Protein backbone atom coordinates (compact mmCIF):
# COMPACT_ATOMS: atom_id res chain seq x y z
CA UNK A 1 0.00 0.00 0.00
CA UNK A 2 1.66 3.18 -1.12
CA UNK A 3 -0.38 5.81 0.69
CA UNK A 4 -2.97 5.81 3.43
CA UNK A 5 -6.03 7.97 2.86
CA UNK A 6 -8.33 9.47 5.48
CA UNK A 7 -10.57 6.38 5.54
CA UNK A 8 -7.57 4.08 6.11
CA UNK A 9 -6.40 6.33 8.94
CA UNK A 10 -9.89 6.33 10.46
CA UNK A 11 -9.96 2.51 10.35
CA UNK A 12 -6.54 2.34 12.01
CA UNK A 13 -7.52 4.85 14.68
CA UNK A 14 -10.68 2.91 15.56
CA UNK A 15 -8.86 -0.44 15.64
CA UNK A 16 -6.19 0.99 17.94
CA UNK A 17 -8.96 1.86 20.39
CA UNK A 18 -10.77 -1.46 20.07
CA UNK A 19 -9.27 -4.21 17.94
CA UNK A 20 -12.12 -6.54 18.85
CA UNK A 21 -14.96 -4.55 17.33
CA UNK A 22 -17.00 -6.24 14.65
CA UNK A 23 -16.64 -5.26 11.01
CA UNK A 24 -20.18 -3.83 11.12
CA UNK A 25 -19.27 -1.59 14.08
CA UNK A 26 -16.06 -0.49 12.38
CA UNK A 27 -17.86 0.24 9.10
CA UNK A 28 -20.42 2.39 10.91
CA UNK A 29 -17.74 4.36 12.76
CA UNK A 30 -15.75 5.14 9.59
CA UNK A 31 -18.73 5.70 7.31
CA UNK A 32 -18.36 2.75 4.94
CA UNK A 33 -20.51 -0.19 3.97
CA UNK A 34 -19.48 -3.39 5.76
CA UNK A 35 -18.18 -4.95 2.52
CA UNK A 36 -16.06 -1.88 1.63
CA UNK A 37 -14.74 -1.70 5.18
CA UNK A 38 -13.85 -5.39 5.15
CA UNK A 39 -11.95 -5.00 1.85
CA UNK A 40 -9.94 -2.07 3.20
CA UNK A 41 -9.28 -3.87 6.48
CA UNK A 42 -8.00 -6.92 4.55
CA UNK A 43 -5.69 -4.72 2.46
CA UNK A 44 -4.30 -3.06 5.60
CA UNK A 45 -3.52 -6.51 7.02
CA UNK A 46 -2.10 -7.98 3.78
CA UNK A 47 0.20 -5.01 3.18
CA UNK A 48 1.53 -5.14 6.75
CA UNK A 49 0.09 -1.81 7.90
CA UNK A 50 -1.74 -3.86 10.54
CA UNK A 51 0.93 -6.21 11.81
CA UNK A 52 -1.15 -8.19 14.29
CA UNK A 53 -3.54 -8.21 17.23
CA UNK A 54 -2.90 -9.03 20.86
CA UNK A 55 -4.35 -8.76 24.33
CA UNK A 56 -2.66 -6.00 26.32
CA UNK A 57 -1.99 -7.45 29.76
CA UNK A 58 -1.42 -5.63 32.99
CA UNK A 59 2.07 -6.74 34.01
CA UNK A 60 1.31 -5.96 37.65
CA UNK A 61 -1.84 -8.06 37.58
CA UNK A 62 0.17 -11.09 36.45
CA UNK A 63 2.84 -10.44 39.08
CA UNK A 64 5.49 -8.83 36.84
CA UNK A 65 5.92 -5.74 39.00
CA UNK A 66 9.42 -4.73 37.88
CA UNK A 67 10.35 -3.12 34.55
CA UNK A 68 14.04 -2.94 33.74
CA UNK A 69 15.66 -0.93 30.97
CA UNK A 70 18.79 -2.78 29.90
CA UNK A 71 21.58 -1.26 27.82
CA UNK A 72 23.74 -3.80 26.00
CA UNK A 73 27.15 -3.33 24.38
CA UNK A 74 28.46 -5.98 22.00
CA UNK A 75 32.01 -6.89 21.03
CA UNK A 76 31.45 -5.44 17.56
CA UNK A 77 28.82 -4.53 15.02
CA UNK A 78 29.57 -7.07 12.33
CA UNK A 79 26.52 -8.46 10.55
CA UNK A 80 27.10 -11.94 12.01
CA UNK A 81 27.49 -10.54 15.53
CA UNK A 82 24.25 -8.57 15.30
CA UNK A 83 22.24 -11.42 13.77
CA UNK A 84 23.46 -13.94 16.37
CA UNK A 85 22.62 -11.57 19.22
CA UNK A 86 19.19 -10.76 17.76
CA UNK A 87 18.31 -14.42 17.23
CA UNK A 88 19.25 -15.20 20.84
CA UNK A 89 17.47 -12.23 22.43
CA UNK A 90 14.23 -13.19 20.64
CA UNK A 91 14.24 -16.44 22.65
CA UNK A 92 14.32 -14.64 26.02
CA UNK A 93 10.70 -14.67 27.24
CA UNK A 94 11.09 -11.71 29.60
CA UNK A 95 12.41 -9.31 26.95
CA UNK A 96 9.40 -7.29 25.83
CA UNK A 97 11.19 -4.91 23.46
CA UNK A 98 14.62 -4.86 21.85
CA UNK A 99 15.96 -1.92 19.82
CA UNK A 100 19.18 -1.72 17.81
CA UNK A 101 20.57 1.69 18.73
CA UNK A 102 22.99 4.31 17.58
CA UNK A 103 25.13 5.95 20.24
CA UNK A 104 26.83 4.59 23.32
CA UNK A 105 25.03 1.22 23.52
CA UNK A 106 24.27 -1.24 20.75
CA UNK A 107 20.87 -2.38 22.06
CA UNK A 108 18.26 -1.26 24.56
CA UNK A 109 15.87 -3.83 26.02
CA UNK A 110 12.74 -3.53 28.13
CA UNK A 111 12.58 -6.52 30.46
CA UNK A 112 9.71 -7.60 32.73
CA UNK A 113 10.56 -9.28 36.04
CA UNK A 114 8.50 -10.34 39.03
CA UNK A 115 10.97 -8.89 41.52
CA UNK A 116 14.69 -8.31 42.05
CA UNK A 117 15.38 -12.01 42.57
CA UNK A 118 13.62 -12.83 39.32
CA UNK A 119 15.63 -10.17 37.48
CA UNK A 120 18.82 -11.65 38.91
CA UNK A 121 17.77 -14.99 37.38
CA UNK A 122 16.97 -13.36 34.04
CA UNK A 123 20.31 -11.53 34.07
CA UNK A 124 22.24 -14.69 34.98
CA UNK A 125 20.44 -17.22 32.80
CA UNK A 126 19.49 -15.12 29.79
CA UNK A 127 21.12 -11.73 29.43
CA UNK A 128 24.64 -12.73 30.46
CA UNK A 129 24.41 -15.75 28.16
CA UNK A 130 23.56 -13.70 25.06
CA UNK A 131 26.30 -13.96 22.43
CA UNK A 132 28.89 -11.19 21.99
CA UNK A 133 27.77 -9.19 25.05
CA UNK A 134 30.60 -7.25 26.69
CA UNK A 135 28.60 -4.84 28.88
CA UNK A 136 25.17 -4.86 30.51
CA UNK A 137 23.79 -1.78 32.26
CA UNK A 138 20.45 -2.19 34.04
CA UNK A 139 18.15 0.63 35.18
CA UNK A 140 15.08 -0.13 37.26
CA UNK A 141 11.86 1.76 36.59
CA UNK A 142 10.54 3.26 39.81
CA UNK A 143 7.06 4.00 38.50
CA UNK A 144 5.27 3.95 35.16
CA UNK A 145 4.14 7.46 34.35
CA UNK A 146 2.38 6.53 31.13
CA UNK A 147 2.45 3.92 28.40
CA UNK A 148 1.02 4.64 25.00
CA UNK A 149 0.48 1.47 22.99
CA UNK A 150 -0.77 3.41 19.97
CA UNK A 151 0.49 6.24 17.82
CA UNK A 152 -1.64 9.33 17.42
CA UNK A 153 -3.42 9.30 14.05
Give residue-wise pLDDT tens across range 132-147.
999 999 999 999 898 8
- Measure the CA–CA gap between 121 and 153, rounded to whole angstroms: 40
| Domain 66-140 architecture | 2-Layer Sandwich (3.30)
With beta carbons less than 8 A apart as the criterion, state whether 43 and 1 touch. Answer: yes
Q: In this predicted model, what pLDDT tens digit does every residue of 23-51 receive, in sequence order? A: 999 999 999 999 999 999 999 999 999 99
Pairing outcome for strands 107-113 and 95-100: antiparallel
pTM exceeds 0.85, yes or no: no
> pLDDT grade, residue 1 (50/70/90)?
very low
* CATH class of residue range 6-46: mainly alpha
What integer best gives the mean pLDDT of the chain? 94
Domain spans of the chain? 6-46, 66-140
Sheet holding 107-113, edge to edge: 95-100, 107-113, 66-74, 133-140
Amino acid sequence: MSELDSIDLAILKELQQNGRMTNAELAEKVGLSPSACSRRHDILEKTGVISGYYARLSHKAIEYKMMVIVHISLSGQFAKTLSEFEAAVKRCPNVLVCYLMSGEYDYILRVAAKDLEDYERIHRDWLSALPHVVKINSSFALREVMERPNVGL
